[in-house]
Amino acid sequence: MAKRGREARIYKYKCTITEEEFKVTTKSKTPDELVSVRAYYEMNPEEDDRPESIVKKLGDLPEAPSEELLDDDLEE
């Protein structure tokens, strides 16, 4: 008879900023202070060291103004 492995406990938490729900395998001492990776990089864009391909794939880049908006600014 084979030994059963220990079952991993999964804890669900919500990001306090984006309300995004995520799962972790360790219990948090301060669940009210947890933020998602996306929210962290929104708060600290200077620390965003992810490759461009990952940032584009996740859609975390700040949106550039459309050309129409740029054209309107030039006319004024």
**Span 18-71, pLDDT tens digits:** 888 989 999 999 988 888 888 888 888 888 888 888 888 877 655 444 444 444
pTM here is 0.55
- Number of alpha helices (DSSP H) and beta strands (DSSP E) in the chain: 3, 2
Q: Which residues contact 11 (CB under 8 A, 6 or more apart)?
A: 23, 24, 25, 26, 27, 28
CB atoms under 10 Å from CB of 7, counted, come to 6
3-state secondary structure of 54: helix
Spatial CA neighbour of 60 closest among 47, 69, 71: 47
Q: Domain-by-domain residue ranges, the chain?
A: 11-75
Assess whether pLDDT exceeds 50 at residue 73: no
Spatial CA neighbour of 41 closest among 22, 23, 55: 55
